[in-house]
A and B are shown apart, each in its own frame.
Chain A
Amino acid sequence: MMRHLISAADLTKDDAVRILDTAEEMARVADRPIKKLPTLRGRTVVNLFFEDSTRTRISFEAAEKRLSADVINFSAKGSSVSKGESLKDTAQTLEAMGVDAVVIRHGASGAPFRLATSGWIDAAVVNAGDGTHQHPTQALLDAFTMRRRLVGRDAGLGQDLAGKRVTLVGDILHSRVARSNVDLLHTLGAEVTLVAPPTLLPVGVGSWPCEVSYDLDRVLPASDAVMMLRVQRERMNAAFFPTEREYSRRYGLDGERMARMPGHALVMHPGPMVRGMEITAEVADSERCTVVEQVANGVSIRMAVLYLLLGGQDQTAQQTAPAPATEEK
């Protein structure tokens, strides 16, 4: 296991399956009356959030507390960061306080990578979302949700997602969730198709390990899971698409479209949803929609990641482990 979790692309298939399997063990803790393990007792984890994200922060916080870690929440708002302190100085302040892991959410792509590789700190770094780059724990919880539903909770143990057809729909260009999912799903053997208006696909998407389509209706019947991504209304003002209604008509998921999906197929969404834009209420509230399940699974996945990074193996081995593979890529 690596020392940091920066990008889903850094995970091998064995790493990923191991995290998913560990998360299943962690999920059992959640089923107990006392949802706590002593694993990280005496270890300090800081949630360093430069961007507002209550949902992700709470998910990490719940995971850390269930592992008995000491938790510090550091929000950039109202802190010295808003007065111009640099990421480096903030990091070194935390280092001086002796934190063991930093969970970082940052608006700048690459900030967690810099934190992990610039020699500013020694702590393990977990990327909780950076700019439009990566959000690896989201991809892991999505894969976990798919494996449970499409392979089975017990049958899935030790398994990947070979042959599963996953469709991601929406604002791929600005989405760290999409990038992480493409990387991880490809590693796990799934076949990924991206569906979006051409304006919301990055130049260079042709080199990604996935298919690209502009036609949602053609892709739906051949999908085992359809992941709808949030589309911010403001994008309309930058001419990415003409109107909200036109977007919704061409790329939104409503009941009629959902009916064209295979019977077993899932509807997923990383949240928060924009109902009426990329997804109708009828779909969001349907049995097939896994949004709430994804939230619950998020805690298990984050427990697994922190456990494996901080407590899951021999300490000395961790300290000599190499930096994430993005450096050599």
Chain B
Amino acid sequence: MSKTLIRGAKVLGGAPQDVLIDGERIEAVGEGLSAEGAEVVDAAGRVLLPGLVDLHTHLREPGREDSETVLTGTRAAAAGGFTAVHAMANTFPVADTAGVVEQVWRLGRESGYCDVQPVGAVTVGLEGKKLAELGAMHDSAAGVVVFSDDGKCVDDAVIMRRALEYVKAFDGVVAQHAQEPRLTEGAQMNEGVVSAELGLGGWPAVAEESIIARDVLLAAHVGSRVHICHLSTAGSVEIVRWAKSKGWNVTAEVTPHHLLLTDELVRSYDPVYKVNPPLRTERDVLALREALADGTIDCVATDHAPHPHEDKDCEWAAAAMGMVGLETALSVVQHTMVDTGLLDWAQLAERMSFRPAAIGRLTGQGRPVSPGEPANLTLVDPAYRGAVDPAGFASRSRNTPYEGRELPGRVTHTWLRGRATVADGKLV
């Protein structure tokens, strides 16, 4: 296998160092390493991070290959600096059997751009009625650890309780899409001042918070761990903070878009801003940033949700919910968290690589940049400034809310077990 010498990179934002990759592993980290026999990447001024890990990605295959496939989605992931993604279960057919999760897992292996760890559905068909064969999915080649009905809430308290208990047998975790269904019938956007004016059905914060409150109590009662998907409100932050203060095994994620965008954007009625949970208020955005900084929220997850053009080029009510996010995630987090002084790069690495890998029990991902570790690495140029151009996306879909917006930072290289998947800003 070939050698690569990354010269003068700020490892996790620290002092410049050389990192030598030999084959699939990091051979050495230090100053003045020999470049003999190695391809040299000049990384002056750039930040070297562990390969990013996403706990929440919609790859759409099988079933909606018109919006994304495992191949296009993992190419988008690599372009965004990710070396592992968790593929959500709301495909067609639903990933609720060992057969489907193994198919997704195999497609990921074949793509070669990024590790794909399938998420299994909690209930059959995401219908919230009957537990899917969670054990079989865990025992399959895919080795499923994270289970989620994402897109739908496991709203039945008994089903949720049983799922939380059942997955303890193999150290699994239920990732809850917290949305009380009755309170969100016909919901189109955050319920508040803007929805009142626009005449769009409200998605109240309490519909998220009431489910999170119930689930942290359930997790505590049965001694299980629970993960909260795409937490979006200031109230949810307070509940998770309280649960953690009790020592309960609760983890939570926030999306990049909830760290930056607010429901004021919905005034344009442009469905590119339609997402579930919806964009909230400025107050929520600031609370989420603070919570991600102080560790109440464990990690960033993209909720990358590709949709075909026609599902967004229409009136608001008819449009699909969701945004692509893999290729802009790091820039948005740099913009909202690093450039604002809330996080340094080492803390960002914690929240975009180490923690999500730990929650998903991934081995070989989210590892330190140290000799002997797998060479899953991302090199970032933090000084770069540029407007987001969806035409350049590797994703098959273009439904980004950031088109034309200037964001900092650019992934110049990504290595997956020593192989460059991105070099000089281009997919390899």
Residues of A within 8 A of B (CB): 86-88, 106-111, 113-114, 117-118, 130-134, 176, 179, 202-208, 326-327, 329
Rounded to whole angstroms, the CA-CA distance of A15 and B22 in the bound complex is: 72
Q: How far is the CB of A63 from chain B (nearest CB, A)?
A: 25
Docked-complex contact A204 and B192, CB < 8 angstroms? yes
Q: Assuming the A-B contacts A86-B310, A114-B269, A329-B267, are A107 and B195 also in contact, with contact meaning beta carbons closer than 8 angstroms in the complex?
A: no
Residues on A with beta carbons closer than 8 Å to the beta carbon of B314: 86-88, 114
Residues on B with beta carbons closer than 8 Å to the beta carbon of A205: 196
Residues on A with beta carbons closer than 8 Å to the beta carbon of B199: 109-110, 130-134, 176, 179
Q: How far is the CB of B267 from chain A (nearest CB, A)?
A: 6
Find A202's partner among B195, B268, B269 (CB 8 Å cutoff): B195
Docked-complex contact A203 and B191, CB < 8 angstroms? yes
Residue B286 lies at the interface, judged by CB distance under 8 Å to chain A: no
Rounded to whole angstroms, the CA-CA distance of A202 and B202 in the bound complex is: 9
Q: List, sorted by A's number, 29 A–B pairs whose CB atoms are closer than 8 Å.
A: A86-B310, A87-B314, A87-B315, A88-B314, A108-B316, A108-B317, A109-B198, A109-B200, A110-B198, A110-B200, A110-B316, A111-B315, A114-B270, A114-B315, A114-B316, A117-B268, A117-B269, A131-B199, A133-B200, A134-B199, A179-B197, A202-B196, A203-B192, A203-B195, A204-B191, A204-B193, A204-B194, A204-B197, A207-B193
User: Which of A87, A113, A117, A179 is most buried by chain B, counting CB atoms within 10 A of its CB?
Assistant: A113
Rounded to whole angstroms, the CA-CA distance of A107 and B269 in the bound complex is: 14
The 8 closest A-B pairs by CB, nearest first: A204-B196, A110-B269, A133-B199, A132-B199, A108-B317, A202-B196, A109-B199, A204-B193
Residue B313 lies at the interface, judged by CB distance under 8 Å to chain A: yes
The number of residue pairs between A and B whose CB atoms lie closer than 8 Å in the complex comes to 81
Rounded to whole angstroms, the CA-CA distance of A111 and B204 in the bound complex is: 23
Residues on A with beta carbons closer than 8 Å to the beta carbon of B202: 202-203
Rounded to whole angstroms, the CA-CA distance of A169 and B370 in the bound complex is: 70
Q: How far is the CB of A141 from chain B (nearest CB, A)?
A: 19
Rounded to whole angstroms, the CA-CA distance of A109 and B197 in the bound complex is: 10
Q: Assuming the A-B contacts A86-B310, A134-B199, A203-B192, are A108 and B318 also in contact, with contact meaning beta carbons closer than 8 angstroms in the complex?
A: yes
Q: How far is the CB of A207 from chain B (nearest CB, A)?
A: 5
**5 additional A-B residue pairs with CB within 8 Å, beyond A109-B317, A110-B315, A134-B199:** A111-B316, A114-B269, A203-B202, A207-B197, A326-B267
Among residues of B, the one whose C-beta sits closest to the C-beta of A176 is: B199
Q: How far is the CB of A16 from chain B (nearest CB, A)?
A: 18
Q: How far is the CB of A270 from chain B (nearest CB, A)?
A: 16
Q: How far is the CB of B315 from chain A (nearest CB, A)?
A: 4
Residues on B with beta carbons closer than 8 Å to the beta carbon of A131: 199-200, 317
Q: List B178-198 residues whose CB lies under 8 Å from chain A.
A: 188, 191-198
Among residues of B, the one whose C-beta sits closest to the C-beta of A110 is: B269
Rounded to whole angstroms, the CA-CA distance of A131 and B189 in the bound complex is: 14
Residues on A with beta carbons closer than 8 Å to the beta carbon of B269: 109-110, 113-114, 117
Among residues of B, the one whose C-beta sits closest to the C-beta of A329 is: B267
Q: Assuming the A-B contacts A114-B269, A327-B268, are A208 and B196 also in contact, with contact meaning beta carbons closer than 8 angstroms in the complex?
A: yes
Q: How far is the CB of A129 from chain B (nearest CB, A)?
A: 11
